Chain A
Amino acid sequence: MARSWDKAAVVLCMDVGLAMSNSFPDEESPFELAKKVMTMFVQRQVFAENKDEVALVLFGTDGTENALAAGDQYQNITVHRHLMCPDFDLLEDIESKIQPGSQQADLLDALIVCMDLIQEETLGKKFEKRHIEVFTDLSSPFSRDQLDIIIHNLKKSGISLQFFLPFPIGKQGGTGDRGDGSLLSDHHGPSFPPKGITEQQKEGIQMVKKVMMSLEGEDGLEEIYSFSEALRQLCVFKKTERRSMPWSCQLTIGSNLSIKIVAYKSITQEKVKKCWTVVDARTLKKEAIQKETVYCLNDDDETEVSKEDTIQGFRYGSDIIPFSKVDEEQMKYKSEGKCFSVLGFCRSSQVHMKYFMGNQVLKVFAAKDDEAAAVALSSLIHALDELDMVAVVRYVYNEKTNPQVGVAFPLIKDAYECLVYIQLPFMEDLRQYMFPSLKNNRKCTPTEAQLSAVDALIDSMSLVQKDEEEGTIEDLFPTSKIPNPQFQRLFQVGSVNPAENFRVLVRQKKATFEEASHQLINHIEQFLDTNETLYFMKSMDCIKAFREEAIQFSEEQRFNNFLKALRDKVEVKQLNHFWEIVVHDGVTLITKDEAPGSSVTTEEAKKFLAPKENANADSAAAFEEGGDVDDLLELI
């Protein structure tokens, strides 16, 4: 359910300039891809039935139409649609009305137009969030003069930004996350520098990174997406969906020292909100159904008694004790209103992660715009960090909620520092189970050979890549950046298990083989475009399913053509990693022996997978780099 305080104002800011239409042969242009991403976004907005308003600003248009245009200022920027609820017209506009322009426009000028539009058109209305999404290939020149002012204004007015580019940007650079060891850096899968990028685009990337870094710190870089990423993960639009409410309080140490703080939920499990309603099987109406609750005595006749004749009670061991709501209210524990009070400090090793409980993580900052509070909290954060200690605190959300005891530990990042609060158990919540020792037990002592086999397994399945020179460790499988498949399924079902869907489609003849295979090929290509290991596996499943079904349905030619085209494509796009998997799994052309319709001999099929002799040094190196990723795939 959309609540008014959740309402967002979003400006879609799309580059339609000259270069956006350029593309490699057989590939969609950035212009088309950007339209796809926007369509997906608007569709979701329409279906979500919320009250968000969306505007559309184009830059690089042949004409000019915006409030700021004067003289030679703010030219080739068109406000295509003002802030209003998205509807099918908007979808249609994106689909057919937006045409590529033949001009170039300054991206930063376009941003100013968007900011101006948001500020003007949200005036006097209640929007919790204001947000700009920029779609561009960054190939147009821009003037940096206004950059600092723009950043300042974005911050001041609380407008958030997201960028969508035709290529992934390298998200290198340590996170400076001291709490976790400063040597770590999170990467978005194996990232390769985008190919064929111009100097202008490089400059553009630097500028975009700078903007996002200054707005959100290193987290900001997470808000720069490639089109293919965006097409895969609907959750990239999260920004417009969820925001934590601030909780203001005072952190107290004893009765004399308090620090003004504000806390936000930073992690909490997102669940599917929309639930199924029960309807009558014949009329399909929920109004036709009603539920009632009755009480009856525990006798043979199950005599019904009215609710008025019942009272509330509680079990206390073998006794049942009548205890009215009124009595309960009067006698129950009452917390004395909200608080965040330190009970004491202890070594961080004493508060083990296995004791963490509750359903949320709070990040605790100093109150906004209160330098004294910021310095005071910073003293505490650094004191704890340097002593390797944590605070144990009593936390009460408000006078109606029960008190918690929890841990507050320091988290220091480049852009911000805070305390992180997590609930700890009460004595009543603990279960002290004992388990037989595994050590001095002859029955389960592994042999040396078994140990070394496990040792080898661990090495071969490493999910990190160490860079000895830089002393950094790269996470090849950052789980916390992967969207929950349950949501994906709800919003698009389709690409979650394409291989299985394909099988069902062709077997149940719900679609012709041609149609179904076409859809499948599209999925495979989308997956490969991501150039991410996770999606390679999915692609392999699809290809194998395609092959099996093609033999079944005597459509071997279709598969063989596809595989040949794929091999060519792999060469162009440098997807050597992926091809290695294909070769390893021995997925080759369908031979005569397998299907009479094929003209391919076993010999030819074998040769098809043999490495080309002119394989260049580059790709060999690339393979080596991803070596353990491939091993991983073999094992799974």
Chain B
Amino acid sequence: MSGWESYYKNEGDEEEEQEEGLEAGGDYSYSGRDSLIFLVDASRAMFESQDEDELTPFDMSIQCIRSVYTNKIISSNRDLLAVVFYGTKKDKNSVNFKNIYVLQELDNPGVKRVQELDKFKGQEGKKYFEDQIGHGSDYSLSEVLWVCANLFSDVQFKMSHKRIMLFTNEDDPHGDDSAKASRARTKAGDLRDTGIFLDLMHLKKRGGFDTSLFYRDVIIAENEDIGIHFEESSKLEDLLRKVRAKETRKRVLSRLKLKLNKDVTLTVGIYNMVQKAYRPPPVRLYRETNEPVKTKTRTFNVNTGSLLLPSDTKRSQTYSHRQIVLEKEETEELKRFDEPGFILIGFKPLMMLKKHHYLRHSLFVYPEESLINGSSTLFSALLTKCLEKEVMAVCRYTPRRNSPPCFVALVPQEEELDDQKIQVAPPGFQLVFLPYADDKRKVPFTEKVMANPEQVDKMKAIVQKLRFKYRSDSFENPVLQQHFRNMEALALDLMEPEQAVDLTLPKTEVMDKRLGSLVDEFKELVYPPDYNPEGKVTKRKKDDESYGSKRPKVELSEEELKAHVSKGTLGKLTVPALKEACRMYGLKGGLKKQELLDVLTEHFQKA
């Protein structure tokens, strides 16, 4: 029966899908869904801001959660999210613990849930909270964690990753009750043992948040986060970055061997840090009920009408009338070169890496201790020395069985933290793909005409005026943003979708203002008075043979044309050539080749 399952798949796309899937999601499809509970302290202190203009810690948390919700809708809508308040007056949870209010159980993020979160925003939100839920006087953190654990166990889906993010500005919740504190520690330990991660998103507290009082023992750095300790956040932006960094689980694309020589091997994990985000594919819905329909593709024999199993087909290619037929497996075999992995070829100085030899986006390489012990140590030594000697490792890389090898450079990258101690660059190697000779193209370059120093200086002034600090997350994709705004509007039955701000458009007004008279000064230095760079036909030099000229100017002598007519070979000429000829003799011949041929033939036969 297994044959039938694959048989419903769309054969043509299958291979590509597989590859794309592997590249994009890592082991996503096999591992289940990620789940995340936002656990928010709702005690009075969370609603007090130190400054009039400042967001309250609670408001900041809600905005941050909302942002994660909308992001998840875009990036991974299968993931499960929940929101739990504690320190509340009312309670709502499956075990009827006091002071714990489950606002949203673990489920996919959706429009309604985002709307619900919006109600808690700002001053109005504060009031709404006080009316609907209210502040409580007491709570037990161990009970809070208990409720969270229950939320996870109520989920029917297979979950790959369970995480709780705790938002609070109280650094010593059970300072006067050591029994409660100790129960909370025990419960946190239980969660850890069942594979639930607990993160502290601590917010600003008067006098500073002291993790040593309580949380240091509760939040024990997990294996994967050794050495990463955040500072407390006083700004939404900082909080967002911390949450973002934790909210997506690292997915390894593949775990591979890196062979330094025939005796020394270590294992590494490959990660994708940049991946083009696409609009999600459309789904087909049944018109009557708007329910999604399933799509099946089947292959059948035209003559007999019988369905064909994959084994009833073969693969074929034709070269000059000869057909080559192979089994599907054999075509796979053709692509096989090496075992998957890296083979070190040698080292080159970093400065030999050519920026303009970019082939495809790079990947990230980090040691993987689970397969070969000592990999991290060897990796660390390699990284240290490559950084010190400013070299990169050139390797032959075979990503998968059945994929051809390519050359890559492993470029060392040192760990970098920002002032909030958030890691902005992880330690490891960037895997940079190097092009083969076949991938490079010769381009017909334009003759070099050098600008003089005065012109260059003027341009430098322009460049300096338009300086900004580039950040990789500065630009949103306007196409995606607009799509999701449209979806949002439709889901909420809004009349008009909100127009997404297109950050990719140049801010011409600001630019013009900053540049002032510089542009005109530059143009005066560079452009002749009558020059119009926008003009479509400002060919300054006539050059018929240049690549740029679209229409090859063809002049045929009368003799040649006559010869073609008499030999009947006029049809060998191209349509533009024929048109040109017609024009030369003032003939009107329509647009089709045959019409052109007819008038020309007629003309010369008469003559």
Contact = CB atoms under 8 A, between A and B. Distances in A.
Given A266-B441, A332-B479, A477-B394, A295 B225 contact: no
Interface in B447-484: 447-451, 455-460, 462-464, 466-484
Contacts of B426: 433-435
B577 interface: yes
Contacts of A443: 376-377
A439 B415 contact: yes
Interface stretch (A59-67, A134-142, A178-186, A516-524): A178-186
B302 A289 contact: yes
A362 B297 CA distance: 39
Most buried by B among A124, A431, A486: A124
A403 B312 contact: no
A111 interface: no
A142 to B, nearest CB: 25
A320 B107 contact: no
Interface in A233-283: 233, 235, 238-239, 242-244, 246, 248, 250, 252-260, 262, 264-270, 274-282
Contact of A179 (B260, B356, B411, B538): B356
Contact of B574 (A126, A248, A250, A473): A126
B31 to A, nearest CB: 16
Given A430-B473, A431-B272, A480-B437, A394 B506 contact: yes
Nearest to A411: B356
Interface in B66-124: 69, 72-75, 77, 107-114
A219 interface: yes
A380 interface: yes
A398 interface: no
Interface in A342-358: 342-347, 350-351, 353-358
A291 interface: yes
Nearest to A435: B426
Contacts of A434: 225, 228, 245-246, 250, 423, 426
A572 to B, nearest CB: 30
A432 B345 CA distance: 30
Interface in A202-241: 216-217, 219, 233, 235, 238-239
Interface in A307-345: 309-323, 328, 331-333, 341-345
A257 B437 contact: no
A27 B407 CA distance: 34
A365 interface: yes
Nearest to B396: A479
Contact of B313 (A279, A347, A464, A635): A279
Interface stretch (B156-164, B543-551, B594-602): B543-551
A226 to B, nearest CB: 15
B486 A277 contact: no
Interface in B366-422: 366-367, 369, 376-386, 389, 391, 394, 404-405, 407, 411, 413, 415
Given A180-B352, A369-B543, A292 B441 contact: no
B227 interface: yes
A439 B226 CA distance: 10
A265 B261 CA distance: 37
A165 interface: no
Interface stretch (B142-150, B172-180, B319-327): B319-327
Nearest to B454: A379
Contacts of A260: 533, 538
B277 interface: yes
Most buried by A among B286, B288, B359, B446: B446
A416 B386 CA distance: 34
The DSSP consensus for interface residues of chain B is mixed
Nearest to B343: A636
A361 B358 CA distance: 7
A375 to B, nearest CB: 5
A432 B109 contact: no
B316 A483 contact: no
Given A310-B293, A370-B540, A432-B248, A345 B468 contact: yes
A405 B475 contact: yes
A363 interface: yes
A287 B573 CA distance: 36
A588 B545 CA distance: 61
Contacts of B292: 298, 313, 320
B301 interface: yes
Nearest to A307: B284
A72 interface: no
A126 B346 CA distance: 47
Interface stretch (A420-428, A503-511, A602-610): A420-428
B552 interface: yes
A579 B438 CA distance: 32
Contacts of A439: 227, 415, 427
B439 A268 contact: yes
B606 interface: no
B445 interface: yes
Given A321-B490, A357-B274, A372 B294 contact: no
A49 B515 CA distance: 56
Contacts of A370: 538, 540
A254 B506 contact: yes
Interface string B321-347: 001011000010011010000011111
B437 A426 contact: no
Contacts of B415: 437-439
Interface string A143-158: 0000000000000111
B285 A320 contact: yes
A319 B472 contact: no
A366 B451 CA distance: 12
Contact of A475 (B246, B352, B508): B352
Interface in B146-202: none
Interface residues of A, number: 191
B53 interface: no
A269 B334 contact: no
A484 interface: yes
B553 to A, nearest CB: 11
B134 interface: no
Contacts of A453: 381
A464 B522 CA distance: 44
A384 B463 contact: yes
B313 A480 contact: no
Contacts of B500: 333
Contacts of A256: 512, 515, 519-520, 523
B476 A426 contact: yes
B273 A383 contact: no
Interface string B202-229: 0000000000000000000001111110
B245 to A, nearest CB: 5
Contact of A254 (B280, B472, B508): B508
Interface stretch (B37-45, B56-64, B524-532, B585-593): B524-532
B296 A296 contact: yes
Nearest to B73: A317
A378 B538 contact: no
Nearest to B374: A444
Contact of B337 (A311, A318, A446, A485): A485
A287 B314 CA distance: 13
Contacts of A455: 385, 389
Contacts of B385: 451, 454-455, 458
A257 B456 contact: no
28 contacts: A257-B522, A257-B523, A267-B435, A290-B300, A292-B298, A295-B295, A313-B282, A315-B77, A317-B114, A331-B486, A331-B497, A356-B362, A361-B356, A382-B451, A387-B464, A425-B276, A431-B273, A432-B244, A433-B271, A434-B423, A436-B227, A436-B228, A437-B226, A462-B348, A463-B347, A477-B394, A479-B436, A480-B436
Given A123-B554, A346-B468, A438-B380, 19 more contacts: A124-B554, A254-B512, A259-B533, A267-B359, A277-B316, A278-B316, A290-B300, A297-B293, A319-B112, A342-B466, A350-B471, A353-B353, A354-B273, A372-B528, A372-B540, A426-B277, A429-B274, A438-B379, A446-B380
